[in-house]
Structure formats: C-alpha cells, structure tokens
Amino acid sequence: GAVVSQHPSRVICKSGTSVKIECRSLDFQATTMFWYRQFPKQSLMLMATSNEGSKATYEQGVEKDKFLINHASLTLSTLTVTSAHPEDSSFYICSAEGQGVTDTQYFGPGTRLTVL
Amino acid sequence: GQNIDQPTEMTATEGAIVQINCTYQTSGFNGLFWYQQHAGEAPTFLSYNVLDGLEEKGRFSSFLSRSKGYSYLLLKELQMKDSASYLCAVSGSARQLTFGSGTQLTVLP
C-alpha cells in the first residue's frame, strides 16, 4: 500500500513554543491530506482538510490561527501548533489521499506531542 | 451530520471468528472503511466498501448494507496479534472521514 511518513514521531516542548509536524506521501502524489487528533482512549477527530495550493478547511471548533496548515506540494503538508499549551498534548496523525488509490486514506505513523 | 456506533469492547478466543458491527447515519456517503489500530500507533487500512455486499481479503471480510446503514468486519482464525482497536469510518460527501469510537478487541489464548 501507499506510504505516508510523519516527522517528528515524538516531541516534547515548553508551553508557549511552536511545534511543526511534517507529513509526506512517499510513493504517490497526495492532492488531499487530512490532519487528525486523538486523545487517549478516544477515536480520531478530524481537525482540517488540506488541499495542495489552497487554504485548509478547518472543522468546527478548531482554531485556524492556532493550528497552521501548509500544503505546499503534492507530497508535503505541515501542521504548526502555535503557542502550544498542555491541553494541546495529543497524538497528531495525518493521512493522505492520492489520485488512483481508490479514495483510500493512508495514515502516517503519528506524532506524539507533549507540552510541559 | 454523522453518527457512527460500534461496540466499545469485545473478547474472543484464539482461532475463533468474531464479527464487529458498525451502524451509521450520515448526510453524505462515499464509502466505509475499517482500520486496525494498535495502542500508540496510527491506524492501518483493512478494508473499503462502497457498494453493498461482502469484500473478502484473507482472514478479514467486510460487509456493507447502504439501505440499512450497517457494516460489519469479520475476523476469522483469530490470532493473538489481532488484539487491537478496530475503527469504523465513513467517508462523507467531501471525502473526509468520520470515525466511530472504536471497538477494543481482546483475543484470549
């Protein structure tokens, strides 16, 4: 199946700092990428949909100025958590959907963010 | 909006068969996915149904009835490594995925 990578896999930061997470589709071009957040023992919640070359579409309740998304190329999307706070600590997962892969979303390995 | 229901927990014995049900109510439908997720890891794609019927893939099968808003994932010849959370997810009109809360399956020896 298609391969999606995320970097970093784990990050610990101080409150007030910003953290950037990268999501890459390694063997296909992803016209659309999705960003999810998962709190312990809960399911994945969609944060935003990212389309290459255009602004991201955010789900209700997700602050676009706090979670900055950039989808600059067909293989890379970035999520920047600005001025992170302890309540932002979570498992952030991206997925990518490419042309010709039957609309299936393939997930990256996730990034565990801990804000102290 | 979307509403997806699946059991919270299930337990089965190694070598047995288990069926995990999922019911959904959605405003748009572009297919239903099943994912497997081990603790601390990202979900792994298992199956995709967009038409009614059964899709078989090795030990895993998935069934869909669009008129009933119902799907199930069938796991045969259970192995210990199948202990995981199984997520039912519906693709909406904009192809965004809405996930159920997941079913934690425990396989006992």
Question: Pairing state of beta strands B84-91 and B97-99?
Answer: antiparallel
Q: Closest approach of chain A CAs to the CA of B33, in angstroms?
A: 8
- pLDDT over 70 percentage in chain B: 99
Say whether the peptide bond before residue A8 is cis (omega within 30 degrees of 0): yes
Quote the pLDDT of residue B26.
84
Quote the pLDDT of residue A31.
82
Q: What Cα–Cα distance (Å) separates residue A5 from each residue in A11, A24, A93, B28, B44?
A: 15, 5, 10, 29, 13
Higher pLDDT, A20 or A107: A20
The segment with the largest mean pLDDT, out of A14-28, A95-109, B84-98, is A14-28
Q: What Cα–Cα distance (Å) separates residue A113 from each residue in A50, A80, B59?
A: 20, 12, 35
Q: Do A46 and B98 touch (CB under 8 A)?
A: yes
Question: Pairing state of beta strands A105-107 and B70-75?
Answer: unpaired
Band (pLDDT 50/70/90 cuts) for residue A62 is very high
* Interface residue A99 vs chain B (CB under 8 A): no
Quote the pLDDT of residue A102.
57
Encode pLDDT of A30-61 as tens digits. Answer: 888 999 999 887 889 999 999 888 889 999 99
Distance separating alpha carbons of residues B88 and B36, to the nearest angstrom: 9
Quote the pLDDT of residue B30.
87
Contacts of A39 in chain B (CB under 8 A): none
- Answer whether B77's CB lies under 8 Å from B18's CB: no
- Answer whether B72's CB lies under 8 Å from B88's CB: no
Question: Pairing state of beta strands B103-108 and B9-13?
Answer: parallel
Q: Do B45 and A32 touch (CB under 8 A)?
A: no
Q: List the one residue out of B48, B36, B44 whose CA is nearest residue B78.
A: B36
Band (pLDDT 50/70/90 cuts) for residue A1 is low
Residue B19 has pLDDT above 70, yes or no: yes
Q: What Cα–Cα distance (Å) separates residue A42 from each residue in A8, A45, B8, B20, B108?
A: 22, 9, 11, 18, 23
* Interface residue A103 vs chain B (CB under 8 A): yes
Encode pLDDT of A64-100 as tens digits. Answer: 999 999 988 889 999 999 999 999 999 999 999 866 5
Higher pLDDT, B42 or B82: B82
